[in-house]
Structure formats: structure tokens, C-alpha cells
Structure 1
Amino acid sequence: MAVEGAMKCVKYLMFIFNFLFWVSGIALIVIGILVQTKLNGTLHITSVTASGAPIVIIIVGVVINFVAFFGCCGAWKENYCMVTTFAVLLILIFIVEIAAAIAGYIFKDQIREVFEKSFNDTMANYNKTGNAVNIDELQKQFRCCGSTSYRDWLTILNNTVPDSCCKNETQNCGKTPTPNKVYEEGCVNVINTWLKNNIVIVAGVALGIALFQLLGIIFACVLMKGIRSGYEVM
């Protein structure tokens, strides 16, 4: 009876785990859509790696929902095959995440290069439809101007800068740019610093998700053993 009680507890813990896992999948899909919208709405992204990152996030979210379905159904119906499928898929996701983390560390220096190229391309096409609004929003948000400094705009806009570069934005304030009137620091440095400051948070969340997944794998393996041994867990 003690063993049956333990298996019943594992069953419900796994069911709760999969519900939370499903919620995290929905969250990833939403984040991926928001990031994709932000990238396409802010910069002219030419790198497949950069533009594909949010798509990967969305795909992972969809896969997580698919895996959570197997976990919930397998736990509820005590189906050995479904629980095994859940465990295998969760292990594969865990391995992919580890590989992605390693790849992210290896290619972290290329992120700045990709962003700088994308920002410069957007600046060069500033007067084209949509680009002005997009880059203006970014400069306002991060309180920066140009790629490396506000002087980057002078050759593009005939010795003027966008009004979004002004510390106190008013109409045509960018026509007479001076260091005391506009943001001097370039957006590439500002956003690169912002990314570095927030990477610790991202790493912490990623570690938490990985540990959460390991817990799910353990629950699945224990439940698989219980089902295969023929114990009733209801």
C-alpha cells in the first residue's frame, strides 16, 4: 500500500508538473511572437541567425506543449508508452537546450557584429517607408543616437540627426545637433551593455527551466517503473 501511495503521489506531481510545463510553453510562444514582431518592427535584420532566433523560441514553445500533452495523458491514464514518449522527448529537449547554451556562448561575440550591421543598414535606409519610425523608437527607448555616436547621422542626413536623438525632443530639434542637446552614445554600445547586464537573468531563468525539466524526467522515470511493475496508482 505504501508503494501504491507513493506512485499515486508521483502521478499527481507529474500531472502538476506538466500543467506548469504547458504554461511555460505558452509563455515561450508569446515571447517568441513578441520578439519576432520587435525585430521586424525595429531593425532591418539581414542575418538568418538573428531573424531565426525568435522563430526557434516559438517552435520550442509548440514542442513543449506537444510534450506536455503526452505527459498529462500518460500520467492520467497510466499509459506506459505515453509516459516513455514524454520522458524521451523531454530528454531530447534538455539536450537541445544544452547545445543551444553552448552555441550561444561560442557565438556571443557575433551578436554585436550582427546587431551593428543591422543597425547600420537601417540607418542607411532611414528615409524609406517604415524605417524612420522603427529606428526612432529604438533611439528613444535606449536614449542613444546613431551606431557609434550621433555623428554617424551627419553624413546620412546632411549634418542633421533625427529628432529622436534629442534629449528634449521637439520638432526639428535635430537640425542643429550639439553634444548638450542630443544623446552622444551610440545605440550599439548602449544595447550591447544592456544585453550583458541582463544575460545573468536570462542564464538564471534558463538554469531554472533546465532543473525543472530534470525534475520532470525523474517523475516520468519513477512513474514508468511503477506502471511497468503493475502497481495501481489510482
Structure 2
Amino acid sequence: MKSAMAVDGGAKCVKYLLFFFNFIFWLCGLALIVVGTLVRVSFVNTAILKEYAGSPLVVIIVGVAIFFIAFFGCCGAWKENHCMVTTFAVVVSFIIIIEIGIAIAGYVLRAKLPEAADKTIEFLIAKYNNTKDDRDAVDTMQKGLKCCGGNSSQDWVNFSTTHKSVPDSCCINVTKDCGIGALGDAKRIYTEGCKAALDKLIKDNILWFAVGALVVAFVQITGVVLACILMRAIRSGYEVM
């Protein structure tokens, strides 16, 4: 006679597969936490993107949820507990919906965010000498992204009365007054514009966002299917007592 909690045969394979996939979930959760943290740090360190730094928090939160739910799922599979496995399947299904939403939002942002950032760069360069905050934002961006101006270093042609200088933050080796007379000198300053560098930074980070969410969602769908099979096997065990 089978015990109430026993499953055998093919169901045993499902049980161990579900346990294995939950370990993969655990790693996926950890990966989302790491990716979300790296993207957030990248945004925070780029003054122009600071206002968007809250977006990666969604990925970090989902990663933390997966991290703990995977442990819950492992316990349910190992103990062959119908309630725990059912709860795991329902919660993971809900998380999959969130992740698909994140991937879609990431795709939309990937197209729109660079355009908004480009306009912000143009505004800050035009107002460079107006306030310390605007100046600091541009300097931090140019140093961090190793770029100069919006489209190119030529955007600073009106920076000084001589039309030959750029902000010191454009310099390859930043020192006081290193930008004086350096406009167009590729040996002294970066000549690539910040728009291209920032666009690449945004697209690369958001691409990792979207791909990570979709990969984790795909793995989780497999886990939900296995959980449903195991739930049915456990229930059958009750019925044949």
C-alpha cells in the first residue's frame, strides 16, 4: 500500500527534476539580483540617468523573491508536499507574468530612453556655465563615459571666447586647465560625443535586463510544468491509498 505522501516510478524522476530546476531558479534569482544591482550602480554613477535608477529595483526585488521561492519549491518537491508544490506553481506563474512585463518594458525603454537622454545632454551642455549642478552633471558624464560634447567635441566650440577650448572633463588625463586650446586635439581630449556613448550604455544595460527576464521566465515555465505533473502524481498517491 502506498503512503499518502509517496510517489514512485516516473513521478520520482519529475520530483528530482523539479528539485534540480528549483536549484536553477535559485541561481536565476541570484543572477537577477546581480544584474539589477550592476545596472542600478551604472545608472546611479551616470548623473543624467540617476532619475531612472529606480527601474532596476524591480528586477532586484523579483530576484530576491525567486531566491526564496526556489528554496520553498525545493522543500515542497523533496517532501512531496502537495500544498507547497501548488503554492510554488501559483507564485512562480505570477512572477513569470511580471518578468514578461519587465522584458516588454525594457524593450520599450530601449527605444525611448536614449532619445530622452540625448535631449537632456543638449540641455545640460547649453546650460553648462549657468549652475554648478549642470556643470557637475556634464563633467561626471564626460569623465565616466570618456566622451566630449553631445555629438562630438566640436559642440564646445563656443565654450570659450577663443573657440579652441573644452571643459577639463573632456581631457584624456584630467588636470587643471588641460582643456585650454585642446579643441580638436585627439591626443589630449576625447573626440567622441557623449550621445553615442550614453546610447550604447543604455541599450546594453536594458538588453541585459530584457534577456535576463526572458531566460529566467523560460526556465520557470518548465518548472511550473514539472510542478503540475508532480502535483497530479501526489494527488494520485492519495487516491490509491
Determine whether 1:28 maps to 2:32: yes
Q: 1:172 aligned to 159, 173, 177, which one? A: 177
Determine whether 1:37 maps to 2:41: yes
Q: CA deviation at 1:210?
A: 2.4
Q: CA deviation at 1:199?
A: 6.4
Structure 1 stretch displaced more, 159-168 or 30-39: 159-168
Structure 1 stretch displaced more, 180-189 or 68-77: 180-189
Determine whether 1:223 maps to 2:230: yes
- The Cα offsets for residues 77-104 of structure 1, whole Å up to 9 and x where unpaired, read as 1111111111111111111122222233
Structure 1 stretch displaced more, 217-226 or 26-35: 26-35
SS in 1 for 2:8: helix
User: Which residue type is aligned with residue 163 of structure 1?
Assistant: D
Query: In the aligned structure 2, how far is the partner of 1:223 from the partner of 1:54?
Result: 34
Percent identity between the two aligned chains? 47
Residue of structure 1 equivalent to 2:147: 144
Tell whether the 8 Å contact from 2:92 to 2:220 is kept in structure 1 after alignment: yes
User: Which residue type is aligned with residue 61 of structure 2?
Assistant: I
Cα distance change, pair 197–71 in 1 and its aligned pair in 2 (3 A): closer
Tell whether the 8 Å contact from 2:106 to 2:209 is kept in structure 1 after alignment: no
Query: In the aligned structure 2, how far is the partner of 1:60 from the partner of 1:211?
Result: 15
Q: CA deviation at 1:60?
A: 0.9
Cα distance change, pair 195–222 in 1 and its aligned pair in 2 (3 A): same
Q: CA deviation at 1:224?
A: 0.8
- The Cα offsets for residues 42-62 of structure 1, whole Å up to 9 and x where unpaired, read as 315464xx2221111211111
Tell whether the 8 Å contact from 2:19 to 2:73 is kept in structure 1 after alignment: yes
Unaligned runs of 5+ in 1: none
Q: 1:52 aligned to 28, 51, 54, which one? A: 54
Structure 1 stretch displaced more, 166-175 or 216-225: 166-175
SS in 1 for 2:105: helix
User: Which residue type is aligned with residue 19 of structure 2?
Assistant: F
Residue of structure 1 equivalent to 2:192: 185
Tell whether the 8 Å contact from 2:102 to 2:213 is kept in structure 1 after alignment: no
Query: In the aligned structure 2, how far is the partner of 1:5 from the partner of 1:157?
Result: 80
User: Which residue type is aligned with residue 168 of structure 2?
Assistant: D
Query: In the aligned structure 2, how far is the partner of 1:102 from the partner of 1:115?
Result: 20
Unaligned runs of 5+ in 2: none
1:64-213 counterparts in 2 under 5 A? 64-116=66-118, 119=121, 128=132, 132=136, 138-140=141-143, 142-153=145-156, 160-167=165-172, 172-181=177-186, 182-193=189-200, 195-196=202-203, 203-213=210-220
Structure 1 stretch displaced more, 144-153 or 119-128: 119-128
Query: In the aligned structure 2, how far is the partner of 1:103 from the partner of 1:201?
Result: 13
TM-score (norm 2): 0.75
TM-score (norm 1): 0.77
User: Which residue type is aligned with residue 16 of structure 1?
Assistant: F
Structure 1 stretch displaced more, 152-161 or 167-176: 152-161
- The Cα offsets for residues 132-179 of structure 1, whole Å up to 9 and x where unpaired, read as 4x7656535543212333244566677643434234656532122322
Cα distance change, pair 217–125 in 1 and its aligned pair in 2 (3 A): farther
